[in-house]
Chains A and B, each alone.
Chain A
């Protein structure tokens, strides 16, 4: 059972480039989310999805796009990378019920130069 698979683990982009961070889970979880982690700050919610075809903005959505065409996959797209998007990104999933465990991907360390 792979859990939450997040790729790539590391990425360097030039300002203005676009890329997609991949996230897949094999636990049939309805709820998936993307967070960014910056020094001195807690994880902040970028976008989330409560099921296939349903997405919504989190706390810091600007510059990012998501889609949820299947239950398993929840990719995060950077439309035009900026140095302010240098961060560590985590994908997470849960069954969506309030009292259940959350599972996290291994993280993507993104540097925008």
Chain B
């Protein structure tokens, strides 16, 4: 079993829908990252959080340390949100452990 599990693996939505991507982890962590990878491959950091909730535009990330779970929400989804979303945790030292990613497709 991977230390970081994401669900769903693939998600297709219609433009305007509210989207939730989940991340569960099995180890103690100091911080969790949500990353976005667009077609063409570049990876950008969306959020880094260690507790509570963060919001940036239409994106919201939450984390529950006790339950070892984080969610990434996208409100009013748009086709340009289509990408792979990756959860990664700092579990030990400065090393990141990554989930396999969630492929999101938003159709117009």
Contact = CB atoms under 8 A, between A and B. Distances in A.
Contact of A42 (B48, B95, B101): B101
Contacts, number: 63
A79 to B, nearest CB: 23
Interface in B20-45: 30-31, 33, 35, 41-45
B2 A99 contact: no
Nearest to A58: B95
A12 to B, nearest CB: 16
A50 B94 contact: yes
Nearest to B100: A42
Nearest to A96: B94
Question: What bracket does the count of chain B residues touching chain A fall in?
Answer: 20 to 34
Given A42-B2, A42-B4, A43-B86, A104 B42 contact: yes
A29 to B, nearest CB: 10
B98 to A, nearest CB: 4
Given A31-B94, A42-B4, A48-B95, A102 B45 contact: yes
Interface of A: 31, 33, 35, 40-45, 48, 50, 58, 88, 90, 92, 94, 96, 98-104, 106-107, 109
Interface of B: 2, 4, 30-31, 33, 35, 41-45, 48, 50, 86, 88, 90, 93-101
